[in-house]
Structure 1
Amino acid sequence: MAPHLPFPSLNAVYRHDALLPSVVTAYLCASVSGVFVNKYLTTASEYKFPYSTVMVLLQLIIALIFAQLWKRMPARGMEKSMAMHLPVPDPRPSRSLVSYTGAYHLSWSIAFLQPDLLPNSPLLAQKGNPADSRRDQLLSCPMRRALALLPTTPHHPGVSSALAALTAFRNNVGQFLQWHLIMAVCAVLPVAVLSGEVGTAYRSVLFFDELGFWIQVVVGAALAMASHALMALIIKHACPLTVMVASTAKTCLQAILASFIFRNAMSGYQFTCLLVSLLSAAFYARTSTTKPLSSVYSM
C-alpha cells in the first residue's frame, strides 16, 4: 500500500487480529469495573461520597501520577523505540485526513468521561435536584460544541500541529496515555470547579483520614488508567470506529448490569434497545475480523 493513502489504510496495516479481541474484552471489563467502583463509592459504600465529579477528578489525577511513574521506568532497550517524533502537518488533502484521527482521540478522551460526569443516561443517573441537573447540562454545552467544531478546523496551524502530535501517539502508548489523561483532567477540572463540588467536598466530606476510602479511590484510578491504556491499544491495532463500537458496548453493559445490581428502573423497550446494540457490536466484531487485510477499509 502507498504510504500517502488516507488514514483507513493505516488501520489495515496496524491490524492485529490475534490480539485485538483480548484487548477489547479487557477494555470492556476494566471500564465496567471502574464505573461500578465509582457507583459503589457514591451510593452503597459506608462513605457514600456524594460528589461524583470530584471522585472522577481525584481518580484521573492519581491515574496521571501512575502514568508518569510508568513512563519513568521504561526498559533500556525500549527507550529509543519509544522516542517521540512530531510529524509536520501536510497541507495536501490526503495527508490532512490523518489529522482527523487526532480529533477522534481528543473527542474520545472527553466522551469516555460523560457517563460519570453528566446525567445523560436515565439508567445510571441518580435522582437529585432538577436545578443541579440543568446546571450540569449547561456546563457540558461548551465542551460539546468545542468537540463538534474541532474536526472542522484542521487547517488552523495550532490545531493542525496538536492533532498531528496526537496522531503520532499511536506508536507510543505511554505518551498517548499521558496526554490523554492530561486532557481528561483539563476537561473535568472546570466542570468540578464551576459546579461548586470541589469546595463543598473539601470543607465537608472529603475523608482525608480514612485509609479504606483512599484504597477504593486508588483502585478506581488504576481501573481508569487501564481503560485508557487499553483504549489506546485498540486505536493502535484497529481504528477509531472500533473504539466507538467498544465504548457503545461498554455503556450498554453498564446500564444492563446497573439495572440488576443497583435495581435501577428499566423498561422492556430500553432493555431491547440495549440488547440490540450489544448484538450489533458483537456482529461488528465478528465481521471486522473476517475481512481480508488487503481491503483498505477492512475495519
Structure 2
Amino acid sequence: MSTDKDDKFLPSPAVQRGPPQHPLSLIISAIAFYWVASLSVVFLNKTILSGSEYKFPYPLFVTLYQLIVALVLLVVCGQLGKRNRSFSMIPPFEFDLDIARKIAPLSVVYVLMLTLNNLCLQLVEVTFYQVARSLSIFFNILLTYTMLRQKTSPAAMFACAVVVLGFFVGSYGESNFSWAGLWAGVGSSIFVALYGIYVKKTLAVIDNNQWRLLHYNTAISIVLLTPIVLFSGEMGEINREVYFLGDLGFWLLMTLTGVAGFLINTAMFLQIKYTTALTNTISGTAKSCVQTLLAMVFYQNPITAMNGFGIFLSLLGSGMYSWVRYAEMQRR
C-alpha cells in the first residue's frame, strides 16, 4: 500500500489508461476504407463527367443526383440503426423547420462547394485537380482572420506560401490548361474554407452531432439545388443530347458515384475515431499523392516538368500545413 506522499507521484487513472488502444487490423481497415472511398469519389466523378462512354458533362444534375442518393442512404441507415448496432452511429432521419432555417446558410455554401468541385473535376485533368483546389488553405487562413479574428502562426503561413507557389507554378506548367476549370477550382477552394468555418458555427445548433447535421444539410441542399437545375437549362439539354438515359449501366454508374459520396463521410468518421489526429493528417496527404500518381497511370495525363514541380510543391505545402496545425493543436 502506498502512502499519501507516494500517491502524488502516481498518474491519475485517466492518465494511466490513456486513449483506447484499437487493434492494428482495425486501424488499417479504417485507413484503407477512407482511401478507397476518397479515391473512388474523385475517379468516379471524373469518369461520369468527362471520361467514359457515358460522358455526362452536367455537374449540376450530377450533384443533385448524388445528394438524393446520399439522403436515401441516410434515411435507410437511420432506420437500420434502430435494429442493428452496426448502423447505430447514424440517428433516425429528422427535419425540424426551425433548425433547418439556422442550417440553411451552411447548405448554400455546401451546394456551391460541391457544384464548383464537380465543375473543376470536369474541366481539368485529375493530376491538376489537386493543384486547382489547393488554395483552400490560403482562403481558410484569410477567412478565419476576417470572419473569426483568429491569427495564424508564422510556420503555418510559410506552409501556405509553399502551397500558393505550387498553385502558380503548377498552373503555369499545365499543358491542358483551362481558365474555367482553374476558376472553378479557386471558387471551390473558397467555399471549402467557408464550409469548415460554418460547420464549426452550426454544429452547436444540433448538439454537435455531425450525422444530424448531415441529415439537415443534405435535405436542404436538395431543396436549394432542384430549382437551379430546372432553370439552368441542363434538363432540356440532357433530354436533347443524351442518348443513353435508358441504359441501366449509366444509372448504375451515377448511383455508384452517389454511394461513394455518402461513404466518404462514414470513412472520415471511422478514420478519425480509430486513428490519431496525426495518422488522419498523414493519411490524407499520402492519399493525395497516390491520387495524382494513379491519375498519371490511368488517364495518361501529360505532365510537364514545371507542372510536376507545382504538384509537388502543392502537396508538400499541404502536408507541412497539416503537420504544423496538428503540432499546434497538441500544444494547446
Q: Same fold (TM over 0.5)?
A: yes
How far is the alpha carbon of 1:40 from its aligned partner?
Answer: 2.4
Q: Is the 8 A contact 1:52 1:117 kept in 2?
A: yes
1:212 to 224, 237, 249: 249
Question: Which structure's CA Rg is the greater one?
Answer: 2
Per the alignment, in what secondary structure is the counterpart of residue 209 of structure 2?
helix
1:40 counterpart = 2:47: yes
Q: Which ranges of 4 or more aligned residues in structure 1 deviate by more than 6 Å? A: 79-84, 106-110, 125-129, 239-242, 276-286
Q: Structure 1 246/25 Cα, relative in aligned 2: closer, same or farther at 3 Å?
A: same
Separation (CA, whole Å) in 1 of partners of 2:289 and 2:228: 25
Q: Which residue of 2 aligns with 1:63?
A: 70
Separation (CA, whole Å) in 2 of partners of 1:257 and 1:136: 23
1:1-299 aligned within 5 A: 18=24, 19-76=26-83, 78=85, 115-118=117-120, 122-124=124-126, 133=181, 136=184, 140=187, 144=190, 147-148=193-194, 151=197, 160=201, 162-165=202-205, 168-169=208-209, 175=212, 177-179=214-216, 181-182=218-219, 185=222, 196-205=233-242, 207-237=244-274, 246-272=283-309, 274=311, 297=330
Q: Structure 1 257/80 Cα, relative in aligned 2: closer, same or farther at 3 Å?
A: closer
Letter in 1 for 2:204: A
Per the alignment, in what secondary structure is the counterpart of residue 72 of structure 1?
helix
Q: Is the 8 A contact 1:38 1:220 kept in 2?
A: yes
Letter in 1 for 2:305: G
Separation (CA, whole Å) in 2 of partners of 1:266 and 1:191: 36
Separation (CA, whole Å) in 1 of partners of 2:224 and 2:282: 23
Q: Is the 8 A contact 2:58 2:234 kept in 1?
A: yes
Q: Is the 8 A contact 1:177 1:229 kept in 2?
A: no
Q: Is the 8 A contact 1:59 1:224 kept in 2?
A: yes
Separation (CA, whole Å) in 2 of partners of 1:238 and 1:278: 22
Identity %: 24
Letter in 1 for 2:290: L
> Highest relative contact order (Cα 8 Å, sep 6+), 1 or 2?
1
Gaps of 5+ in 1: 1-11, 85-103, 155-159
Per the alignment, in what secondary structure is the counterpart of residue 76 of structure 1?
coil
Q: Is the 8 A contact 2:30 2:270 kept in 1?
A: yes
Q: How does the TM-score come out when normalised to structure 2?
A: 0.53
Q: Which residue of 1 aligns with 2:173?
A: none
Separation (CA, whole Å) in 1 of partners of 2:238 and 2:68: 16
Q: Structure 1 149/214 Cα, relative in aligned 2: closer, same or farther at 3 Å?
A: closer
How far is the alpha carbon of 1:264 from its aligned partner?
Answer: 1.6
Deviations 1:254-290 (A, max 9, x none): 333222211222223443554577689899999xxxx
Q: Which residue of 1 aligns with 2:166?
A: none
The structure richer in helix per residue is 2
Q: How does the TM-score come out when normalised to structure 1?
A: 0.58
Separation (CA, whole Å) in 2 of partners of 1:51 and 1:58: 11
Per the alignment, in what secondary structure is the counterpart of residue 45 of structure 1?
coil
Separation (CA, whole Å) in 1 of partners of 2:223 and 2:191: 16
Separation (CA, whole Å) in 1 of partners of 2:20 and 2:111: 21
